Amino acid sequence: MLMLASLLLAVVAPVPSSPLAGLHGLVGSWSCTYHAGATDFAYRTTYTYDRDGHILRQTASWTGGGDEEYVAYDALHRRWTATVLDDGGNATVMRAPGSDPNHIAYHSVYPDASMAVTFDRLSATQYALHATVRSGGKTITSVDTCKKTTAGM
């Protein structure tokens, strides 16, 4: 009887939604600014869901370049994975522990561990990325600020 009751509870109990669903507010177009030292530039980015909602896809473009990022959530290991493919043919894989869709602190795992990027949702229409990259013996820190755009902009 106890086994039957637990089986019924398993069938009736709602399946918790993936933390990836918590990023649904990102879907749409965004206007962003990258700032690192004396370097500033604007870019546009768009988010959509792929693979029946199991992957969040970001496509970014700026004068002279762009990249695509795919974000997934691994419920078994309770971690985020982001894969970035850039116009230069490079790939970067980053991981972040936890399940909070409003604060995700990534560290690169491929091709090396030289990057740390933190996503922070500031409001329904704003987010920021804080990054640290070690390259050529130097550490570069940057901040991207993004604001959601309305249709027709």
The rounded distance, in Å, linking the Cα atoms of 54 and 98 is 17
- Helix (H) / strand (E) element for 8: namely helix 2-12
Buried b (16+ CB within 10 A) or exposed e, 35-63: eeeeeeeebbbebebeeeeebbebebeee
pLDDT of residue 51: 80
The rounded distance, in Å, linking the Cα atoms of 141 and 117 is 10
pLDDT of residue 151: 57
Give pTM, 2 decimals: 0.84
**pLDDT tens sequence across 87-118:** 999 999 999 999 999 999 999 999 999 999 99
Q: Which residue has the tokens 């918790």?
A: 16
Q: Rounded to the nearest 5 degrees, what angle is found at the Cα of 39, between the Cα atoms of 37 and 44?
A: 125
HEC readout, 27-94: CEEEEEEEEECCEEEEEEEEEEEEHHHCEEEEEEEECCEEEEEEEEEECCCCEEEEEEEECCCCEEEE
- Helix (H) / strand (E) element for 104: namely strand 103-110
**List of domains in the chain:** 18-148 (2.40.128.20)
pLDDT of residue 152: 46
Residues of the chain under the 70 pLDDT cut: 1-17, 151-153
- Helix (H) / strand (E) element for 18: namely none
